[in-house]
Amino acid sequence: MIQTPRGLAMTPARLHAGAVVESERIGRKAALLACAGLMSMDAVAAGDAATARTFGILAMLIVLAKAASFVERFKQPAVLGEIAMGVIVGNLFLIGFDFFEPAKKDPILLFLAEFGVVVLLFQIGLESSVSTMVKVGMRALMVAVVGVAAPFVIGVWFVGPVLFPGGSFNTYLFFGATLTATSVGITARVFQDMGTLQSREAQIVLGAAVIDDVIGLIILAIVSAVVKSGTVSLVEVLVITGKAAGFLVGVLVAGRYLARFFTGIFIRINTGLGVKLALAMGTCLMFAYVSSLFGLAPIVGAFAAGLILDEVYFRGFADATIADDVRAAVKDSDASTAKRVGAVLERHARHHLETLMAPISFVLVPLFFIYTGMQVNLVVLNDAHLVLVALGVTFVAFAGKLVSGIVAGPVNKWIVGWGMAPRGEVGLIFAVVGKQLGVVDDEEYAAIIIMVMLTTLLTPLVLAWLIKRQR
């Protein structure tokens, strides 16, 4: 069996050389899996526990990721703990425990992690509807644009040159792009924890964050293409933007009619919960696939799918069985009780698709974050200079977003500004893509990770303090 070169810096060339070599190693396992798939009995008996071993590692990662949720005790978002746990698991090799090393390159686990982020963006799309975005309207758009433009400009023409002198323009481009990201997931979670999800500030931040995700993903597409083509071609930029915009507009216009059409057909077939979920997952994954045909990332399609999917399309489908039973139980009770219970069931029914998706995301989404954390090489952190750089990047990351609060209108501008600050998964995606493209080296990647972790860590603290102070 061919050996993969170990302990070498991953330059793009090396990465690909490594990939090809890797393919031989992974190839065997993949083939074994292909055989083992439905016959693990024989596979295991024959000493090939590839599938079973993957189950074992999967079990550990799922439980470890959830164990990390103890950070919620300290009012920190679980995602922070998941990433931190990933960093720990991914660096156990430093103390000679390399059980998890093969997992880092396991195609099955890599797919499940990718599946996880697709489900996450789908959920974010479900949480935010087109109508919500229209309601918060211009303010959200302005905050989003400023919240993207300011960090990008500061990142490309200030952070890059100053903190990473001698770097290529492409590197600076990616830095700017990384700073533009806003994690709607984390933002929403913070406002939710504070119980101010319905405040005007929250509405604006959520709307802006949603738009931010789309703009950020277009920027990622542009920057990636620019790095790949080596030049800033206006035509190319316009084509990519047109493609992305065209896809999204097409989805928003045609998508909802298609969704209505298909749900209409399936309601005639079967109105069970399983069908409802299968339609949702099917739409999510199919859009992820179609978006890739438009040169966009699967997560863009997944997000768009969540955006257009509306509970109203699923009215005809069965609700959680508990709802029907409760309705029957309060049938003969006094009017006010029946009314109150009815309201509860109605409220839950509106978010029933999210509830139905929850168990799937409970398992898959943390996988993406613990996996991302596993990619952090702590060796590069043993460097005072890096830490200083990371702090500088973090400072600019906050400054760039706080600026966007200024255009938020007659609201608490600080809450909006800080609400835009967390980078979370989107920032990490930028960092990973940049690293894979070879324009973001281990040190810069580590700095970005630190920045993402600090924005994720500090925002809840500050935001909570600001909201409490406002009351």
Least distance from its own copies to the Cβ atom of residue 37, Å: 3
Instruction: Please pick, from the candidates 141, 225, 386, 461, the single residue that binds its own copies as defined by CB under 8 A.
Output: 225
CB count within 10 Å of CB 442 equals: 17
Instruction: Please pick, from the candidates 72, 236, 442, 443, the single residue that binds its own copies as defined by CB under 8 A.
Output: 72
CB-nearer residue toward its own copies: 24 or 98? 24
Question: Does residue 192 bind its own copies (CB under 8 A)?
Answer: no
Least distance from its own copies to the Cβ atom of residue 279, Å: 7
Q: Which two tokens stand for residue 64?
A: 């470890």
**Contact string 377-416 vs its own copies (x = CB under 8 A):** ----------------------------------------
**Contact string 88-117 vs its own copies (x = CB under 8 A):** -----------------xxxx-xx-xxx-x
Q: Quote the Cα angle for 68-70-72, to 5°.
A: 110
Q: Which two tokens stand for residue 377?
A: 């090489």
Instruction: Please pick, from the candidates 97, 157, 289, 395, the single residue that binds its own copies as defined by CB under 8 A.
Output: 289
Question: Does residue 2 bind its own copies (CB under 8 A)?
Answer: no
Q: Return the residue matching tokens 């696939």.
A: 289
CB-nearer residue toward its own copies: 296 or 407? 296
Question: Does residue 258 bind its own copies (CB under 8 A)?
Answer: no
Query: Do 136 and 408 contact (CB within 8 A), yes or no?
Result: no
Instruction: Please pick, from the candidates 14, 17, 69, 399, the single residue that binds its own copies as defined by CB under 8 A.
Output: 69
CB count within 10 Å of CB 459 equals: 24
Q: Which two tokens stand for residue 411?
A: 């609201």
CB-nearer residue toward its own copies: 33 or 159? 33
Cα distance between residue 257 and residue 262, in whole Å: 9
Buried b (16+ CB within 10 A) or exposed e, 57-83: bbeebbebbbebbebeeeebbbbbbbb
Q: Which two tokens stand for residue 72?
A: 């919620």
CB-nearer residue toward its own copies: 314 or 418? 314
**Contact string 113-152 vs its own copies (x = CB under 8 A):** xxx-xx----------------------------------
Cα distance between residue 65 and residue 177, in whole Å: 28
Instruction: Please pick, from the candidates 11, 70, 238, 258, the single residue that binds its own copies as defined by CB under 8 A.
Output: 70
Instruction: Please pick, from the candidates 5, 8, 11, 67, the single residue that binds its own copies as defined by CB under 8 A.
Output: 67
Question: Taking the chain, what is the end-to-end CA distance rounded to the nearest angstrom?
Answer: 65
Q: Return the residue matching tokens 């189950």.
A: 55
C-alpha distances in Å from residue 76, one per residue of 189, 219, 262, 390: 10, 29, 40, 21
Half-sphere exposure of 90 (CA within 13 A, CB side): 21
Least distance from its own copies to the Cβ atom of residue 107, Å: 4
CB-nearer residue toward its own copies: 355 or 470? 355
**Contact string 5-24 vs its own copies (x = CB under 8 A):** ----------xx--xx-xxx
Least distance from its own copies to the Cβ atom of residue 207, Å: 25
Instruction: Please pick, from the candidates 149, 197, 232, 277, the single residue that binds its own copies as defined by CB under 8 A.
Output: 277
Cα distance between residue 240 and residue 225, in whole Å: 8
Would the CA dihedral through 404, 406, 410, 411 be positive or negative?
positive
Least distance from its own copies to the Cβ atom of residue 403, Å: 27
Question: Does residue 232 bind its own copies (CB under 8 A)?
Answer: no
Instruction: Please pick, from the candidates 183, 224, 412, 459, the single residue that binds its own copies as defined by CB under 8 A.
Output: 224
Question: Does residue 65 bind its own copies (CB under 8 A)?
Answer: yes
**Contact string 339-378 vs its own copies (x = CB under 8 A):** -xx-xxx-xx------xxxxxx-xx--x-x--xx--x---
Buried b (16+ CB within 10 A) or exposed e, 245-281: eebbeebeeebbeebeeebeebbeeeeebebbbebbb
Least distance from its own copies to the Cβ atom of residue 187, Å: 19
Least distance from its own copies to the Cβ atom of residue 89, Å: 14
Question: How many of the chain's residues bind its own copies (CB under 8 A)?
Answer: 129
Q: Which two tokens stand for residue 349?
A: 């029914």
C-alpha distances in Å from residue 447, one per residue of 277, 393, 454: 39, 7, 10
